[in-house]
Structure 1
């Protein structure tokens, strides 16, 4: 892949997450019964970062969970014979909660669909909202995020790479050409 540009710096990412934290608080008229569930892999640290911003703004610690969607993917047969399945870690009851699913990028929306299915196995939330750091367009399903850090129109031969310190050793959003 050929590097094209850095679309978001560490500061840009932090500003976007802070703005989203405010939007979550405003849209839900506070934080009563609100939780964040990060979609593995990069949605988990993003959910934790959002929770820290929310706590700094409101003084309220919202519960954060981790969701593994591997077995709910519609391309499971394409990604290998033995996909790596990890446990979902949601140590709270989502029944009647407002669940904010957090992911790094929305592209086709198939990950979001799989996350909805996996989450419903955990209980019946009152509401589900979707939060992404980057919306790159090209959704193939009627799913749209409620919260977006940055809209980045792309072509199908480009790759948007969200890099996080927790998983990749740096904070940046980069674009590559395949």
Structure 2
């Protein structure tokens, strides 16, 4: 018998949280003419695309979309979908869940070769077990979990369908 999923976010609530996150991004970067959304493969990219559409609805700001590829278990090699031009730009790195903070920390690394104006981070769900000195600037949901619990974000195509505890 399959174990029932314990959902912490349903798709309708996720949409509301994405709208709130987009408005927070706009508010915290009100003077900016351009933002760079850097999504970590795979679900961070999905978040970045969805937030790009929402931000463009509410603000006159150019939003460049990048993809960050890295092996989350051994993040030694990090690839960006664009090679440069990040000086004086606001970069927002996005992922679905923060567990230890390591993925977000390593995702910042390629941008340090430049002189960005700001680097911010965004996650749909932030857990309270970070082992690295990083906390997301923007959070859809902060959640205290046990170390044994995992959070899974589900997506079908370009739609985030839910998030549950496993």
Is 1:142 the counterpart of 2:143? The answer is: no
Which residue in the other structure is 1:153 paired with?
A: 144
2:51 is paired with a residue whose SS is helix
How big is the alpha-carbon RMSD for the aligned residues of Structure 1 and Structure 2?
A: 2.4
Structure 1 position 91, deviation (Å): 6.7
Which residue in the other structure is 2:74 paired with?
A: 76
Which residue in the other structure is 1:107 paired with?
A: 99
Counterpart-to-counterpart distance in 1, 2:30 and 2:52: 16
Structure 2: state its 5+ residue gaps.
none
Structure 1: state its 5+ residue gaps.
78-82
Counterpart-to-counterpart distance in 2, 1:69 and 1:119: 14
1:131 is paired with a residue whose SS is strand
Counterpart-to-counterpart distance in 2, 1:61 and 1:165: 27
1:117 is paired with a residue whose SS is helix
Which residue in the other structure is 2:6 paired with?
A: 5
Closer, same or farther: CA 21–170 of 1 in aligned 2, 3 Å: closer
With 3-12 and 134-143 compared, the bigger mean Cα shift is at: 3-12
Which residue in the other structure is 1:174 paired with?
A: 164
Structure 1 position 3, deviation (Å): 4.1
2:63 is paired with a residue whose SS is coil
Structure 1 position 60, deviation (Å): 3.5
Counterpart-to-counterpart distance in 2, 1:170 and 1:131: 16
* Alignment size in residue pairs: 165
Which residue in the other structure is 2:121 paired with?
A: 130
Counterpart-to-counterpart distance in 2, 1:133 and 1:15: 12
Structure 1 position 96, deviation (Å): 1.0
Which residue in the other structure is 1:88 paired with?
A: 80
Q: TM-score, normalised by structure 2?
A: 0.88
Structure 1 position 5, deviation (Å): 0.8
Which residue in the other structure is 1:165 paired with?
A: 156
Whether the 8 Å contact between 1:63 and 1:92 is mirrored in structure 2 is no
Structure 1 position 119, deviation (Å): 3.1
Counterpart-to-counterpart distance in 2, 1:86 and 1:28: 26
Whether the 8 Å contact between 1:36 and 1:99 is mirrored in structure 2 is yes
Which residue in the other structure is 1:21 paired with?
A: 22
